[in-house]
A and B are shown apart, each in its own frame.
Chain A
Amino acid sequence: GEDVEQSLFLSVREGDSSVINCTYTDSSSTYLYWYKQEPGAGLQLLTYIFSNMDMKQDQRLTVLLNKKDKHLSLRIADTQTGDSAIYFCAEREAGNMLTFGGGTRLMVKP
């Protein structure tokens, strides 16, 4: 079946870049997403990439997609303490169903 995997934890210093990685298995995925979840809150869509793209940049966020390796990454430039949260990648399959990874907890140290 479909599976999306992420590393559990990432710690960086304020001002550094963060890179969060994700692998997925469904080659028919149309869109791939990055969501952010802060404590006690729902999911906030950060950015997404269509499966025929290699890269997408949106202010401090850069998404890279390697379709051959089914690898997705999210780079956050100049990471701030307010970026501390759990980040989920998700793939969208047929219909409106999202399959999420387990989430990567990003901790930003001052």
Chain B
Amino acid sequence: KAGVTQTPRYLIKTRGQQVTLSCSPISGHRSVSWYQQTPGQGLQFLFEYFSETQRNKGNFPGRFSGRQFSNSRSEMNVSTLELGDSALYLCASSLEGTSWDEQFFGPGTRLTVL
């Protein structure tokens, strides 16, 4: 069974641009969560999607958005990039997103903003 895949693995953008990251969950998983990992702030929850609906949202500005498609694949978008958006963006999938579901993480997309 294939794991969670994220594309691209590495990305370099400049300030003011926008970026779209993609996450393909494990087959059969319907919940996809996104996390941002930075040296300063650590791992922080961005949002969770389930059945194409945003179910939970972390404390990030509106420049960060996401969506989920009918096949459970998810994308996150960051508009008007800032230097502080440089981070490793991790996606995790789980079956239904309930408390007892294990979350499986992808390898992440490393975004560098210049």
Contact = CB atoms under 8 A, between A and B. Distances in A.
Interface of A: 30-31, 35, 40-45, 48, 88, 90, 92, 95-103
Given A95-B56, A97-B58, 16 more contacts: A42-B4, A43-B105, A44-B105, A45-B102, A45-B103, A45-B104, A92-B99, A95-B48, A96-B33, A96-B101, A97-B45, A97-B48, A98-B33, A100-B43, A102-B42, A103-B43
Interface residues of B, number: 28
A40 B37 CA distance: 12
A96 B94 contact: yes
Interface of B: 4, 31, 33, 35, 42-45, 48, 50, 55-56, 58, 90, 92, 94, 97-108
Interface of A is mostly: strand
Nearest to B97: A96
A43 B42 contact: no
Contacts of B45: 97-99
A106 B31 CA distance: 31
B106 A42 contact: yes
B105 A98 contact: no
Given A30-B99, A42-B90, A88-B43, A96 B105 contact: no
Contacts of A96: 31, 33, 48, 50, 55-56, 94, 97-99, 101, 103
A30 B99 CA distance: 7
Contact of A103 (B4, B42, B90, B108): B42
Contacts of B102: 45, 48
Q: Which of A42, A98, A100 has the most CB of B within 10 A?
A: A42
